[in-house]
Structure 1
């Protein structure tokens, strides 16, 4: 065997050495990384996220600009989780996807890294799954929303349930052992029976994680226009409540525990990255419209693909909003984000963080919601009751300080 190292081997060793040196640098902090991909094959009728269809010609330049932002801003951190969302990350061309994953692998990554890519049926194939597997992606999130094809068509999805199932089984075959599936209830013309069928079908596939969200009709979406014109046939409030209670019952039967208002997991498979948001930990968002929370500053990138590309090329600022949190912001966020978790918040942690007794700040609100049996205070924790979870938005709005 030739004892002379190949150029490729030497380059890899140099890269590993550089990454290890950075990792051992005590000045580097751990952070979670969100990467935004704004492209969609077709925009869903309910979606108000920063995503666009018909702009595929910008993919090459966007990924090139995104890679530059990643290398510039990500190099100073140890990355504890990565979430590539959108939009539809799986809609990227193979060459773009590979380029992005190679760039991310050049950062200082924790050994036990949760690395998620959002994928939509209708844009996913064997080659993309193999690329993700090759470059260390270990969790995929598949958006199916419903197992009923007529409902999928009604909400603007580009795929059938059969497309989803084929993608899911292919991902298993290729070796993905941590899969999330997104489902939605409260959809137009959806019945309780439709929802039960979706839950049971998905649970029988045994994904490690299921996100079950209620439809929110957002301004600026086609659904909002239809709603304003009284042309959107939504389930009644009591039907939607039944759907939510059905979710908890069915998923519990199949071995999933609820750890957040809309999220259910098999044991040990809770989403680390999402818990970063709910616990108000720091995160770095890169790409069009991506948000960050670092050193008490919340910032947001510009929401225009063409302008983002041009500013990156010219090494200009791409941040359009900065908000510096004060103690009032931090206390509010700690409570209403923490209450999204089924386990709630630790009362003594509030005092450790803010130097104040939580009852001195929110005592009246806490007592009012305890009396209404929406909040529970027990064993040093404050958490939503089952009924409180159902009306969580109402409860959390009480914690906004004047």
Structure 2
């Protein structure tokens, strides 16, 4: 049996944040109940596929999965365990927003086997949360976090966002320190990306409003201070935007970057089974050998350890140099990548412009 990751998408939220381009929308209770019923049916439809796999991780994402009530969460996990063989030590994560969680929900999560919580904080400053369109305050986040600890959750991630409109370097440093003081096991520190189709895109494509955003140099300093501050608190950066206490790296995300097979269930969820990729409701597309090599490189280079030449050879039957000789030589010469034994990885300078470096590995 091969290892498999499950991603289950819950496309509901109370209101859509101004920067969000994820597949999500406000909903009523009846819509959520109908969706969960359909989702459970869809999960059970994978019974034949499930015979070839054991599930090593499950991630419930959204949207705001914590909008579902305890009965709905229990129904989803009943369908999962009825269909798939889930490892006893599987990492099982649910995303949540402050203000949408109760002790009853947390008890239901534990009963369902959920072992990891991912809380979307984004900022400790209420004015920044308001600018983003978040539905909660920092005080509501603290209440949610303390409640989760009281209910016995010992593996919690907190999301933070830099590059927020009107955010200062000192404000970002304060957010990092206040969150690190809480001692979560994991911190995801992302930079705001303004995506097409969002309210932020409509506002900030107008040059008159660009001054509201931190400039490029400030964002660069934010990025470097993140590593320094979180490192001082004992967090190890193991991926471009993710930091963890020893042993608490997100196994589900590492699976994505290592191209572990995954099955996405729910509206718009993506899957990678064998060498076929598809999103829910679409026809599977077979990945060419070149596609697979591209993914191996640009996903694997997100990890601080990078990719390995021996694994590339084992996976594709040819050396990394035979396919990427010119790119590698140029990246080494420009100081953007480096070799360390079997490993090939980004340098600090390469991480600063990682999107450019990774794009160079596309055929």
Aligned positions of 1:113-132 closer than 5 A:
113-132=90-109
Hey, what's the Cα distance between the residues in 2 that align with 1:52 and 1:239? 33
* 1:320 partner SS: coil
Q: After superposition, what is the alpha-carbon deviation per residue over 1:8-46, rounded to whole angstroms, capped at 9, x for unaligned?
A: xxxxxxxxxxxxxxxxxxxx4320000000000011100
- Select between 96-105 and 324-333 the one with higher mean Cα deviation: 96-105
Asked if the contact 1:146/1:183 (under 8 Å) is kept, the reply is yes
Matched, 1:84 2:60: yes
Per-residue deviation at 1:54?
3.6
Aligned residues: 357
1:356 to 318, 334, 349: 318
Aligned to 2:358: 396
TM-score normalised by the chain length of structure 2:
0.96
Per-residue deviation at 1:322?
2.2
Larger Rg: 1
* 2:140 partner SS: helix
2:17 to 41, 44, 53: 44
Matched, 1:93 2:69: yes
1:110 to 87, 102, 123: 87
* 1:142 partner SS: strand
Hey, what's the Cα distance between the residues in 1 that align with 2:344 and 2:296? 12
Hey, what's the Cα distance between the residues in 2 that align with 1:321 and 1:243? 41
Report the RMSD for the aligned CA atoms in angstroms.
1.1
Per-residue deviation at 1:55?
4.6
TM-score normalised by the chain length of structure 1:
0.87
Aligned to 1:12: none
Aligned to 2:235: 256
What stretches of structure 1 move > 6 A for 4+ residues in a row?
Answer: none
Per-residue deviation at 1:387?
1.2
Hey, what's the Cα distance between the residues in 2 that align with 1:42 and 1:229? 24
Asked if the contact 2:3/2:260 (under 8 Å) is kept, the reply is no
Per-residue deviation at 1:105?
3.3
Per-residue deviation at 1:102?
2.5
Q: After superposition, what is the alpha-carbon deviation per residue over 1:53-77, rounded to whole angstroms, capped at 9, x for unaligned?
A: 1454311110001001111215433
For structure 2, the 5+ residue unaligned runs are none
Hey, what's the Cα distance between the residues in 2 that align with 1:54 and 1:137? 24
Matched, 1:30 2:3: yes
Hey, what's the Cα distance between the residues in 2 that align with 1:373 and 1:321? 41
For structure 1, the 5+ residue unaligned runs are 1-27, 302-318
Aligned positions of 1:3-402 closer than 5 A:
28-73=1-46, 75-76=50-51, 77-106=53-82, 107-230=84-207, 231-232=209-210, 233-301=212-280, 319-401=281-363
